[in-house]
């Protein structure tokens, strides 16, 4: 994003038809960028993970297709490079990073639930209403997973 040439980021922010996928892990995007995007594209941000096999797992060696990946400090890199190799992000962590960046909780939750469901055309997901699947996650006050329901049943 440049002040004289907005480029693809500026075009995406300016176009109400575009939903921005944000990897809110503090690695792919700085938290300030997460907050700016959420503000500039209200209702058009979908939090995604770009997660690989190491998501939620310990640091160590992993494979991503044909690539050897090393995870250190929760950050995945192609072995021998500085290239990010997906993420180890989970959705609850994305929510914590997004809220920590200054995005209001309700806006961040919508970016995890309603917006991605809308993009996928999944009218059965995204909100808790009659006729929906009733997939739900109960979070603690510090946004940690406390309990999960799938189709209304405890998981």
In angstroms, rounded to a whole number, what is the distance separating the alpha carbons of residues 62 and 79? 10
- Identify which of 109, 135, 105 has the alpha carbon closest to the alpha carbon of residue 122: 135
| Residues annotated as catalytic (active site), given as ranges | 50
Using alpha carbons, select from 141, 25, 46 the residue that is nearest to residue 93. Answer: 25
Residues 133 and 124 sit within 8 Å (Cβ to Cβ): yes
Angle subtended at Cα 103 by Cα 92 and Cα 117, rounded to the nearest 5 degrees = 55
Tokens of 147: 């309990």
CA distance 77 to 71: 6
Distances (CA, A) of 12 to 9, 15, 37, 127: 5, 5, 10, 25
């Amino acid at each position: 994003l440049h002040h004289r040439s907005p480029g693809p980021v500026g075009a995406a922010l300016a176009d109400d038809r575009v939903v921005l996928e944000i990897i809110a892990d503090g690695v792919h995007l700085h938290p300030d960028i997460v907050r700016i995007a959420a503000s500039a594209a209200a209702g058009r941000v979908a939090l995604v993970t770009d997660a690989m096999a190491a998501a939620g797992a310990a640091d160590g060696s992993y494979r991503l297709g044909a690539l050897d990946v090393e995870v250190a400090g929760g950050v995945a890199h192609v072995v021998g490079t500085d290239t990010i190799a997906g993420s180890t992000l989970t959705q609850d962590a994305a929510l914590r990073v997004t809220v920590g960046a200054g995005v209001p909780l309700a806006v961040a939750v919508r970016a995890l639930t309603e917006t991605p469901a809308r993009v996928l055309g999944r009218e059965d997901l995204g909100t808790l209403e009659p006729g929906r699947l009733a997939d739900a996650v109960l979070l603690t006050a510090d946004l940690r997973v406390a309990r999960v329901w799938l189709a209304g049943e405890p998981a």
